[in-house]
Structure 1
């Protein structure tokens, strides 16, 4: 067999499948169809003369040959992108805002995915409240924001929806007859407003016991046993439990995560597509 010539986009497709564990999510990250990703992988496998991915109705796994090819594939794409960046000149910048209620423990992995998509794209990330980030986006201080649904806005692309619950430390006990102690972020946090409105509508007396400048501070208050917080399970501090059913608290709805973006260039859009696909993967588990 003649020495094969590797198609760089086919190699990229293989890497996205390996990283995301799904043809569907790889297609989302590459802004193409699942059929196109499958075709690229087949072209690569035919060229190499071996199967790289084992696909079943329930899972996608690398074959032994695929696992062995993975690191070389990464090096090939990185070398290709370095050579292209050196030829084209200055690095392009993407300014991205991520809501504190969205940026969770997966943030390093999400950043890594964007960097893997385009190592020579300069990414500037700002963490803040959804409201503040949207204002910065409207003032054109940020190219893109990844935020929670914000009252009064109907724009943005829904990336995922997450469930929420009422979480507390396992040792925390609510004293009968006393208002429910709530740990929150300050206004205009949309999760805070939503949680407090639901408590009021359900006739549950409550009081703010702690106001934190970020989700990590609110989580720390929960761990310290100060009270209850409305949080996504993805953001949970270690050992926290959902006390909503035990206390008869109102059910919290699934809240959407939206991407607002004005970028039009292919490099930034492809990096954001990789971010979106990785985030969907993290939320779905």
Structure 2
């Protein structure tokens, strides 16, 4: 009978990861394992329960009817296990992570909540700033990890996904070619600002900055109010704006990569960070 079946924590964890990711590969990445090992753990759990939990085809991974029933209980089982383990620890672990402002989309709070559920014994301090500032802080040892836009002079770091940029303004924004383009840009230390101003200079397009040195919220406000054009990642462009490069004859912008830098050595903290990185990759792959 199922009521007397002994559940294996690793197997239940594998099942929940597959259910959340809808992918054996992404589940394996999240758990720092391999697809083969994840499959073996799922099979072991299904055999113990006497039910198929996951239906798998070449194109689709989804919960079976029994898997859908079991999922919430499986989450509660893992949460109880984590609380029990955390209760034996005399001190909470802590790490500080920097996330670049143009990377920190609306999904970040959800990802951090998911990480907290995965490891309730971990306290995460998050710092939001531009990539250049965060990379410098990471190099000085002020951050344990950083998720930033790749620096042109650095090839280290784990790639989490591509980042594509465009020129955005409101549909009502007016610009006459030959006149200086009203540009809302971040601080002079922002790498994205440097990319867009170099592109304008190379194309021979005059420009003038408004809200000079403003933060990301000031830039968003200026663009949303129809006062200026700015460069945004396609996934983070303000609501109500449109891409205007073709309309105004603005130069294409090079794509970049989002990378993870880390100096964490504690095994449990590294596992938590892998969970965050896997979730970040999953979100970006669905865009």
TM-score range, shorter chain: over 0.9
**Structure 1 ranges of 4+ moved more than 6 A:** none
Structure 2: how far apart are the matches of 1:272 and 1:218?
Answer: 31
Normalising by structure 2, report the TM-score: 0.93
2-side partners of 1:101 and 1:212: how far apart? 15
CA contact (8 A) 2:188 2:213 kept: no
| Alignment match, 2:24 | 23
Q: Sort the Cα spacing of 1:117 and 1:212 in 2 relative to 1 into closer, same or farther, 3 A.
A: farther
What is aligned with 2:33? 32
Question: 2:74 — aligned with what?
Answer: 73
Alignment partners' CA distance in 2, 1:249 and 1:29 = 40
Q: Distance in 2 between matches of 1:101 and 1:245?
A: 23
Q: 1:117: Cα distance to partner?
A: 2.0
Q: Quote how far apart the aligned CAs of 1:266 are.
A: 1.6
Bigger relative contact order, structure 1 or 2, given CA contacts below 8 A and separation 6+?
A: 1
CA shift in 2, pair 1:107/1:213, >3 Å: farther
1:4 correspondence with 2:14: no
Q: Deviations over 1:257-283 (max 9, x none)?
A: 111101112211111111111111221
Contact 2:163 2:256 in 1 (8 A): yes
Q: What is the alpha-carbon distance in structure 2 between the residues aligned to residue 26 and residue 265 of structure 1? A: 22
Which stretches in structure 1 are left out of the alignment for 5+ residues?
Answer: none
In structure 2, the residue matched to 1:220 is 221
| Mapped partners of 1:221, 1:59: distance in 2 | 44
Does the 8 Å contact 2:86/2:120 carry over to 1?
no
2:250 matched residue in structure 1: 249
Q: How far off its partner does 1:121 sit?
A: 0.9
Contact 1:157–1:258, Cα closer than 8 Å, also in 2: yes
Q: Could you list the per-position Cα deviations for residues 98-157 of structure 1 after superposition, in whole angstroms to 9, with x for gaps in the alignment?
A: 111111111111101211221111111111121221222122121111111124333222
**Aligned equivalents of 1:171, 1:56: Cα separation in 2:** 48
What is the distance in 1 between the residues matched to 2:34 and 2:173? 49
Aligned pairs (5 A) from 1:135-214: 135-211=136-212, 213-214=214-215
How far apart are 1:22 and its partner, in Å?
Answer: 1.9
Q: Is the 8 A contact 2:18 2:24 kept in 1?
A: yes
Task: Kindly provide the CA deviation profile for residues 30-75 of structure 1, in whole angstroms up to 9, marking residues without a partner as x.
Answer: 1111222222122112211112222233332222222221211111
What's the TM-score once normalised by structure 1's chain length?
A: 0.94
Paired residue secondary structure (2:48)? helix
Match of 2:15, SS? helix
* Rounded Cα–Cα distance in structure 1 between residues aligned with 2:21 and 2:211: 38
CA–CA distance in structure 2, aligned partners of residues 170 and 66 of structure 1: 47
User: Relative to 1, partners in 2 of residues 1:178 and 1:277: Cα closer, same or farther, differing over 3 Å?
Assistant: same
C-alpha separation in 2, matches of 1:203 and 1:76 = 62
Could you say what secondary structure the match of 1:165 adopts?
Answer: strand
Partner residue in 1 for 2:63: 62
Show the 5 A alignment for 1:231-246. 231-246=232-247
CA RMSD of aligned residues (A): 1.7
- Kindly indicate whether the alpha-carbon contact (under 8 Å) linking 1:164 and 1:254 is maintained by their aligned counterparts in 2: yes
What displacement does 1:175 show? 2.5
Unpaired segments of 5 or more residues in structure 2?
none
Task: Report the CA distance between 1:84 and its aligned residue.
Answer: 0.8
In the aligned structure 2, how far is the partner of 1:180 from the partner of 1:253? 19
